Structure 1
Amino acid sequence: MADRLTKEIIAKIENHAESARWAISATAISGSGEITTATELTSLGIDSLGLADIIIDLERSYGIQIELTTAEAWSNLRNIGDIVEAVRGLLAKEA
């Protein structure tokens, strides 16, 4: 079961996907029909520009600074779990 932070981040990514009209393929979604931490960003149709938008939203929402270039983010944040753990780590440093 996903914790609150994970659920919030998944919801934010889903909102971005809907507003950008990204095509969510059937292979992106687990057998339960849900997007999970294992879901690859590329399978949701998220490109580097979409990832940048998501990062900006997360920074604003959580008052954090994700210090990655677009290329670094694209190679380090490959699935939703990677994003959750990056945010979780930054929030822990702030506490």
Structure 2
Amino acid sequence: MSDNVETSVIALIAEAAETEPGKITRETELSELEIDSLALTEIVMEIEDQHDIEIDLNTAEAWETLKTVGDLVDMVKKLIADQH
């Protein structure tokens, strides 16, 4: 399941950044992909739908705490684990 989470999050980010998923790693910073707050909000909403979780962050909080792709992946994995 963990790899599926990482793969799906990276795919969503790649789509929003209009780049190839293979060019994105856990260390990739969202800012270097030119992901703005609106795009991040859309990514978060899509992740919530895909994984049936609720990410309780407003856009400003998300922008402050989610700097890298890995930060987002880890948060999603924790929320999924907390549900089970």
For normalisation by structure 1, the TM-score amounts to: 0.78
Aligned to 1:15: 15
Runs of 4+ in 1 over 4 A off after TM superposition: none
In structure 2, give the amino acid aligned to 1:83. Answer: L
Structure ranking higher on relative contact order (CA contacts 8 Å, 6+ apart):
2
Aligned equivalents of 2:27, 2:61: Cα separation in 1: 19
Unaligned runs of 5+ in 1: 19-23, 25-32
The one of 65, 70, 75 equivalent to 2:54 is 65
Unaligned runs of 5+ in 2: none
The one of 23, 41, 45 equivalent to 1:34 is 23
Q: CA deviation at 1:12?
A: 1.3
Name the larger-Rg structure: 1
Aligned equivalents of 2:11, 2:81: Cα separation in 1: 21
Q: CA deviation at 1:16?
A: 1.9
Secondary structure of the equivalent of 1:39? Answer: coil
Aligned to 1:88: 77
CA RMSD of aligned residues (A): 1.8
Identity, % of aligned positions: 43
Q: CA deviation at 1:54?
A: 0.5
Higher helix fraction (1 or 2)? 2
